[in-house]
Amino acid sequence: MRKSALLALLLVSGVYSKDGSDKDLLEKARQFFSPLPKSFPSEENPITPEKVKLGRLLFFERRLSVNDMISCATCHAVEYYYASPAPKQMGALKLQPRHAPTVLNSAGQFVQHWIGNRKDVEDQALQSLTGPPALGNPSRESAEEKLKSIPAYVELFKKAFPKDKEPITAENIAKAIGAFERTLVTPSRFDEFLKGNTKALTEEEKKGLKTFIEVGCVSCHNGTLVGGTMYQKFGIYEPYWKYTKSESIDEGRYAVTKKEEDKYVFKVPPLRNVAMTPPYFPDGSVTSLEEAVWIMGKVQLGKDLSKQQVRYIVAFLKSLTGRLPEEARKPPILPP
Amino acid sequence: MRKSALLALLLVSGVYSKDGSDKDLLEKARQFFSPLPKSFPSEENPITPEKVKLGRLLFFERRLSVNDMISCATCHAVEYYYASPAPKQMGALKLQPRHAPTVLNSAGQFVQHWIGNRKDVEDQALQSLTGPPALGNPSRESAEEKLKSIPAYVELFKKAFPKDKEPITAENIAKAIGAFERTLVTPSRFDEFLKGNTKALTEEEKKGLKTFIEVGCVSCHNGTLVGGTMYQKFGIYEPYWKYTKSESIDEGRYAVTKKEEDKYVFKVPPLRNVAMTPPYFPDGSVTSLEEAVWIMGKVQLGKDLSKQQVRYIVAFLKSLTGRLPEEARKPPILPP
């Protein structure tokens, strides 16, 4: 009798979940999400160990920048889960227009960059070679020339692109970096859950997942990456800058398309590793995840989420923190 | 008969060293050099595991800079053997006046910085907090405030400085970073040689060591770090800028003392890991180690070193490349 009374109490208070409701939640979750793959393959740029090895070196190679000061890893830093801790990071020649998000799992997105003006990770890498807020080289050729002057790279490009007569090209630099990035996958306990182990998440995290689905976050943040599958207007119910600490108003995808309906439209960012990659929003204006979640409720869903709802959602979001692949935990030592 | 003729030939040509001459070389080398210790302790800042752990985090912590963009590891990067690949690196607010050398083993120097204007690694770290070409904080207090806003650091400082009522102070930030740097020691095959294993160096490296001693490099580059024990004028026989690719003339220690005799005087840099840490000289104007060695012969010794002498010396210098301590190979993941 006492035992069953306790059980009833736990059920009512929500501390104890019956296996049945866990299964319901799993089933529901599987409608929206799927576990991470081992890598994000590409037909145009098959992942090979030689390309990945070279791409990892190039990712950390500051000599790829005009002034030897900036590498991909400057804005996508190991110690910050391959994101930038600065709201906007300085590139080789210019401040970046938006926050540099993590590249972990980013190859799985439908497009790259906050406003979708990069097709895939290879396109992102290629254009970064000459972008002033990125590596800032005056031309693709000058980036190629710098690598050609380092003997170790001549060898490594030959191995990675054995069919090419002149393997050190900007396109191959981008392919190698892209191949490396396609391996940056960070499965977490949420993936175990999705695969059927309902004990992989704590009760609080499951409540968070349930809340995340029920209040409507999931209508945009879905798929393998819990985001990265679509564009959406930032500020559906109210202008986002009413709540963020934005210093200026970013018109988002309008800059690309010049269509009125794309004003304030951004790519929905993936939420994988979100707890490890503050600051938040396109301008990195908010550093607290709790605050960011509450603002999203307000401007995207027209809801004033309670402290407890926010706490639950944040608990769930923390379960999306995965472990870096071992090779990604350590920067390579670069050839002198 | 034929065997002993061959031996005589090898001896003359220097390809084969008798054990006797190896012992002579070892004895000679021990007059100038000593093996690296396990760490570089300090009476004022005893090394504790708690301080080292915290200091390692702070070393990589960009949020210690005014704009969240720069950490110690920006200019002293893992992938470049804790040095900068740029001739002069951009700090948080200003370009640095000189090349940022490696911090590996640097705690063992008699003073810090090219012109000796930092007493020790703690002093270097403390002054970096507010230096515009370093972390650029408007005040020491503002650096403290930033760390106080990150809960994980409140705990870590308590553990590292258990006797302090308010442990997050600029001085303690510097002590933690200093303690970490005091553990950055990279023993190499040269240390094995100095400890008595004459086979630890190849014949070419031994010839290089012999040349390094005989032509006179050793008169300045000596001690545990093969440098870092004294000041010296850069350009004794001829002005250094006749040979380097310097864009401007650096008056060196004169900037500190305003004494005529300190014009063009710099700290003799340690040569530990020199092969891994181009570019060379206070302004990082030369990238080839061969060229740097030849220039040094010319301007410091008044000697036009032959290609072979340079090759031997470079072979020896490469034997000074040590392995990074395992903890230093991997940046820590920082608290969000």
DSSP string for B274-317: GGGS-SBTTTT-B--HHHHHHHHIIIII-----HHHHHHHHHHH
Joined together, the tokens standing for residue B262 give: 């300190």
On whether any CB of chain A is under 8 Å from the CB of B132, the answer is no
Residue B324 covered by a domain: no
Residues B257 and B132 in one domain: no
Asked which of B161, B185, B209 is the last residue of a domain, the reply is B185
Q: From B138, B89, B206, select the one nearest A62 (Cα to Cα).
A: B89
pLDDT at position A13, please? 45
pLDDT at position B14, please? 46
Which residues in chain A are closer than 8 Å to B277, comparing Cβ atoms?
336
d(CA B182, CA B106): 8
Nearest C-alpha in B relative to A68: B86
- By Cβ distance, the residue of A85, A87, A336 closest to B275 is A336
Residue A251 covered by a domain: yes
Joined together, the tokens standing for residue A297 give: 């409720």
For an interface test with A, give the residue of B70, B76, B80 to mutate (most A CBs within 10 A): B80
d(CA B256, CA B247): 21
On whether any CB of chain A is under 8 Å from the CB of B277, the answer is yes
Nearest C-alpha in B relative to A56: B79
A168 compared with B5, residue with greater pLDDT: A168
pLDDT at position B6, please? 52
d(CA B44, CA B283): 32
Determine the Cα angle at A120 with ends A75 and A64, to 5°: 45
Residues A154 and A178 in one domain: yes
Would the annotation count A217 as a binding residue? yes
On whether any CB of chain A is under 8 Å from the CB of B260, the answer is no
Query: What was the ipTM of the complex prediction?
Result: 0.85
DSSP-derived 3-state class of residue B329 = helix
Residues A245 and A311 in one domain: yes
pLDDT at position B5, please? 55
Residue B44 covered by a domain: no
Residues B235 and B289 in one domain: yes
On whether any CB of chain B is under 8 Å from the CB of A86, the answer is yes
pLDDT at position B89, please? 95
Residue A165 covered by a domain: yes
On whether any CB of chain A is under 8 Å from the CB of B324, the answer is yes
Q: How far is A288 from chain B (nearest CA, A)?
A: 9
Residues B192 and B161 in one domain: no
DSSP-derived 3-state class of residue B82 = coil
Cα distances from A15 to residues A7, A316, B75, in angstroms, run 10, 16, 50
Residues B203 and B307 in one domain: yes
Q: Which residue has the tokens 């979940």?
A: A17
B62 and A77: CB-CB below 8 Å? yes
- The neighbour count for residue B126, using CB atoms within 10 Å, is 23
Residues B163 and B211 in one domain: no
On whether any CB of chain A is under 8 Å from the CB of B297, the answer is no
Which residues in chain B are closer than 8 Å to A278, comparing Cβ atoms?
336
Joined together, the tokens standing for residue B137 give: 């904080």
Residues B80 and B157 in one domain: yes
A86 and B62: CB-CB below 8 Å? yes
Residue A58 domain boundaries: 49-185
Residue B1 covered by a domain: no
User: Has residue B28 got a pLDDT over 50?
Assistant: yes
Residues A305 and A202 in one domain: yes
Average pLDDT (B147-151) is: 95
Domain containing A249 — which CATH number? 1.10.760.10
Q: Are A103 and A182 in contact (CB under 8 A)?
A: no
Residue A335 covered by a domain: no
Residues A191 and A306 in one domain: yes
d(CA B329, CA A207): 39
Low pLDDT (below 50) residues in chain A? 1, 10-16
Q: Are B314 and B288 in contact (CB under 8 A)?
A: no
On whether any CB of chain A is under 8 Å from the CB of B331, the answer is yes
Q: Which residue has the tokens 């061959």?
A: B6
- By Cβ distance, the residue of B67, B85, B289 closest to A68 is B85
DSSP-derived 3-state class of residue A268 = coil
Residue A217 covered by a domain: yes
Beta bridge partners of B286: B280
Residue A333 covered by a domain: no
pLDDT at position A1, please? 41
pLDDT at position A4, please? 56
d(CA A210, CA B317): 62
pLDDT in tens, B299-319: 999 999 999 999 999 999 999
- The values of phi and psi at residue B150, to 5°, are -110, 105
- The neighbour count for residue B224, using CB atoms within 10 Å, is 21
Domain count along chain A:
2
B85 and A331: CB-CB below 8 Å? no
d(CA A281, CA A231): 14
Joined together, the tokens standing for residue B318 give: 């490469």
User: Has residue B329 got a pLDDT over 90?
Assistant: yes
Asked which of A135, A150, A185 is the last residue of a domain, the reply is A185
On whether any CB of chain A is under 8 Å from the CB of B82, the answer is no
pLDDT at position B304, please? 98
pLDDT at position A6, please? 52
Nearest C-alpha in A relative to B334: A79
Cα distances from B330 to residues A211, B53, B142, in angstroms, run 37, 13, 28
On whether any CB of chain A is under 8 Å from the CB of B278, the answer is yes
pLDDT tier at B13, thresholds 50, 70, 90: very low
Residues B177 and B228 in one domain: no
B80 and A334: CB-CB below 8 Å? yes
d(CA B288, CA B80): 15
User: Has residue B4 got a pLDDT over 60?
Assistant: no
User: For chain B, what is the mean pLDDT?
Assistant: 94
Asked which of A119, A154, A185 is the last residue of a domain, the reply is A185
pLDDT at position A196, please? 97
Q: Are B285 and B240 in contact (CB under 8 A)?
A: no
DSSP-derived 3-state class of residue B252 = strand
Joined together, the tokens standing for residue A227 give: 């985001």
Residues A164 and A253 in one domain: no
Q: Would you list which residues of B are annotated within the binding site for heme c? A: 72, 75-76, 217, 220-221, 296
On whether any CB of chain B is under 8 Å from the CB of A336, the answer is yes
Q: How far is A278 from chain B (nearest CA, A)?
A: 7
B278 and A87: CB-CB below 8 Å? no
Cα distances from B210 to residues A64, B27, B189, in angstroms, run 38, 11, 16
